[in-house]
Structure formats: C-alpha cells, structure tokens
Amino acid sequence: MHPQIAAFLDFVREHQEFAAPIVFLLAFGESLALISLLIPATVMLIGIGALIGASGIDFWPIYFGAVLGAGLGDWLSYWLGRYYHEHIARMWPLSKHPDMLEKGHAFFEKWGWPGVFIGRFFGPLRAIVPLVAGTCAMPKGAFQIANWSSAILWAGLLLGPGSVGLSQLRDTFLR
C-alpha cells in the first residue's frame, strides 16, 4: 500500500470517534432545505463509505449518524414549510429561484407522500420536496414515515457500497 494512503487510513482509524458526528452534520446539511444546494455532501458521504471499508472502522455508528442527520434535516425542512408557509417564496434563495418552489410543488402534487420518499434520492428534489410538503400541510405522520424510511435506505446506499467493496479489497490484498 502506498505510504501516504496508509498514513491517511491510520489517521482515520485513530480519530474515528469524529466520523459519526461529521457524517451526521453532512447528512443534515445535505437534507436541509436549500442548504443542500451549497454542500456537496453526497459525494463526500460516498467517499466516507469507502474510507470505512478501507480503514476497517465500525460501519454502524457512522450509518446511524447519516440516518439521523438525513431524517432530522428533512424534518426541519418540513417544519419550516409548515411554519413559514406563505413567506417561503419571498425568502432567499427561493426569491431568486421561484421555479424551484413551483417544480417542487408540482412534483409533490403529482406524487404525494411517495414523492417525499423518492425526492430523497434526487439532489434538486431533496433540497425542496420536504419544504413543499410542509407548505402543502402534508399530514405529519405520512411525512415522517416517508422521511425516516427513505433516510434509512439513502444512508445505506451512500455508505454501503464503498464500505463493503473496499473492505473486501482490503481483506483480499492485505492478507
């Protein structure tokens, strides 16, 4: 193994207690309305999955950090939509991009609660669908079911492939 890669993986192993909180913050930011447009967290989370596999650190705390961050980010977006209902369109950055809210509303009207689930997996929708669900007064229970079930799957799909794939490679080549 290349010495710099080995040193980096050693660093990750030695400081793994920071991994779950960092992943929580990335997933929260990635799922929070409009902030997700500014944070390229999806790519970082896929890379972190690879680091998990390459370094051999425990997958589950990091996975649960991602689930919790994603679920809470969408929940806060939903709450903002319900609370600020009619004022959302006049707030930055939606005031500069009114088409985002219109597209999110059309998507939500077409798909309903499954749209919240589906929206998690598409970057531009992830940024707006929970907010629109709140402005449309989607029932809280239906929103939370779609929110948390999609967060569980989303976190696994982002972190899992790199984690499993690189752990297999690590085990194969470092024996």
| pLDDT at 172 (0 to 100) | 58
Spatial distance between the Cα atoms of 154 and 37, rounded to a whole number of angstroms: 17
∠ CA 147-150-154, nearest 5°, is: 130
| pLDDT at 51 (0 to 100) | 83
| pLDDT at 167 (0 to 100) | 56
CA distances from residue 95 to 98, 99, 139 in whole angstroms, order as listed: 6, 9, 26
Q: Return the structure tokens found at 115.
A: 């749209």
Spatial distance between the Cα atoms of 145 and 42, rounded to a whole number of angstroms: 22
Spatial distance between the Cα atoms of 96 and 157, rounded to a whole number of angstroms: 33
| pLDDT at 150 (0 to 100) | 96
17-36 pLDDT, tens digit per residue, is: 888 998 999 899 999 887 77
Strand runs (DSSP E) across the chain, as ranges?
A: none
- pLDDT tens string, the chain, 175 residues long: the values are 567 666 766 777 788 888 899 899 989 999 988 777 777 788 888 888 888 887 778 899 999 999 999 999 999 999 999 998 778 777 766 677 777 777 777 777 788 889 889 888 987 778 788 988 998 888 999 999 999 999 999 999 999 887 776 655 555 555 5
Contact (Cβ atoms closer than 8 angstroms) between residue 72 and residue 147: no
Fill in the DSSP letter of residue 89: G
Closest CA to 122 of 12, 19, 31: 31
Q: Domain limits of the chain?
A: 3-173
